[in-house]
Amino acid sequence: MTASTPSATQPPAFATASRNHYRAATLAAERDLRISADHLAGLAAECAVKAILIDFLGSRLNARNMPENPEVEALYRVGNTMKWKKQHGHLPELWEHLTAIAHRRRGGGSGALFTQLIWENPFAGWDVADRYCDGTAITEADIDRHLKAAYALIAAHEQAGILGTRTRA
């Protein structure tokens, strides 16, 4: 028996993942699966934000395929220590990364396009850990707000691609 060779990890496809999670979220919402609908809407938005940051606002994948940007430093707890990282994490904090970077580029091009989205964080109270909840705290208004925000992010990413404002080849 021969040893298998490890396959190379493909880089994340955030734009594709955002559309897939959005479609799944809308199906879950139609079937009144509130926990899944809200969770998937958040993942769709998170992937769309990461796609926007990488494709249009200068973020890059690091050696571990994690998105990061030298313009953003966030304080994270690692064990008992606090460390600064330039890595993009998860919603709702990820929204602040989008806000900071888009505001720095609002003078034209893609930054101006994305600043229209970021006046208010629709995921301010969202938590990925809500996937473990009993669903009673997730309202239809929450799901609707999160689905609309995810859709707007996906649409903005696609519009920026049509306008040709990508920062990478």
Q: What percent of the chain has pLDDT over 70?
A: 82
Higher-confidence residue of 76 and 89: namely 89
Residue that the structure tokens 């893609």 belong to: 110
Can you tell me the mean pLDDT for 118-126? 87
Q: Where are the beta strands (DSSP E) in the chain?
A: 60-61, 67-68, 74-78, 81-85
Residue 102 has pLDDT above 60, yes or no: yes
| Strand partners for 76 | 83
Measured over the CA atoms of residue 137, residue 31, residue 21 and residue 7, the dihedral's sign is positive
Residues contacting residue 131 through CB under 8 Å, at least 6 positions apart: 35, 36, 39
Least trusted range by pLDDT, from 23-27, 120-124, 160-164: 160-164
Higher-confidence residue of 113 and 30: namely 30
The structure tokens listed for 148 are 């609309």
- Residue 107 confidence class, pLDDT cut points 50, 70, 90: low
Residue 79 has pLDDT above 90, yes or no: no
The model's pLDDT over 19-70, given as tens digits with 9 standing for 90+, comes to 999 999 999 999 999 999 999 999 999 999 999 999 999 999 999 999 999 8
| 88 contacts 96 by C-beta, under 8 angstroms | no
Q: Is the pTM of this model over 0.95?
A: no
How far apart are the C-alpha atoms of 149 and 91, rounded to whole Å? 12
Give the pLDDT confidence score for residue 169 in this predicted structure.
37
Q: What percent of the chain has pLDDT over 90?
A: 54
Measured over the CA atoms of residue 121, residue 100, residue 154 and residue 38, the dihedral's sign is negative
